[in-house]
Amino acid sequence: MVYEPNLAIDLLCTHNVITRSLEVAAEHCGQSLRSGELDEASKDGFIDYLECIRTVLTTHHHLETQKVFPYFQNKIPELPVKQLNQEHGKIGIHLIKFDDIIPDLKGDSLIPSLEQLNEALTGINHVWYPHKELEEKYFTVEKIGNLVDKDEMRGQSEIYREFIIERYQPDYLVMPFQFYNLPPKERDIWAQKFPEIFTHKLISTEWKDKWSNMAEFFYPDVE
């Protein structure tokens, strides 16, 4: 199926990536706390996964705050921009803790850092769920389709694409993270948005050698 760009679909896909990855990370963190250790075999992959959560969530918030909300503010006057931006700030306060937690996970203070991670993820989730639900109330596929004509939609979609490509670094970790935290059907939508990445780089040995550590945290069909 050929994908007709709709900004609401792009936002919704990224919400799904963030929601799933926060759940997966919280689950693995909880399991590790219960067992009192971070499984050596998956440790590097888990740390990469956490770094990707930080990058994707930060990029998503910056995209909304800098591009999406200003663009739609006049088109959707009832959009609670101030509240949504404040919530980005609240999530950011927890996300910034990753700066200390991630190096600590690699060091000796494993249990305290897992406890801090658990606390940070709980704090993020507490704001994230009502936040994304509120956004999804205003940015529905139908509403956005009615508000923005096709040419404008393509133009905006391209602006968002460039914004993401610039910030999803290192691309050989963050792009696979974005694709493979989506179910296959939604992956197809992103494959059409980033055809060069999906058809060549993602499955190339050069990239796969680097992202395969994270594979156990992706959708089960990913090997």
Instruction: Please report, as ranges, the residues that interact with Fe ion according to CB under 5 A.
Output: 64, 135
Q: What are phi and psi of 38, to 5 degrees?
A: -100, 115
Q: How far apart are CA 187 and CA 99, in angstroms?
A: 29
- The least CB distance from residue 139 to Fe ion, in Å, is 8
Positive or negative: CA dihedral 52, 118, 102, 223: negative
Q: Which is nearer to Fe ion, 128 or 180 (CB)?
A: 128
- The least CB distance from residue 178 to Fe ion, in Å, is 14
Q: How far apart are CA 88 and CA 194, in angstroms?
A: 26
Instruction: Give Cβ neighbours of residue 101 (< 8 Å, ≥ 6 apart).
Output: 50, 113, 116, 117, 120
**Spacing of C-alpha 97 from chain mean position:** 17
Q: What is the DSSP string of 66-100?
A: IIIHHHHTTTSTT--HHHHHHHHHHHHHHHTTHHH
> Running DSSP on this structure, what letter comes out for residue 216?
G
- The least CB distance from residue 19 to Fe ion, in Å, is 10
Q: Which is nearer to Fe ion, 53 or 202 (CB)?
A: 53
Q: Which is nearer to Fe ion, 48 or 135 (CB)?
A: 135
- The least CB distance from residue 129 to Fe ion, in Å, is 12
Q: Which is nearer to Fe ion, 18 or 47 (CB)?
A: 18
- The least CB distance from residue 44 to Fe ion, in Å, is 29
Q: Which is nearer to Fe ion, 10 or 135 (CB)?
A: 135
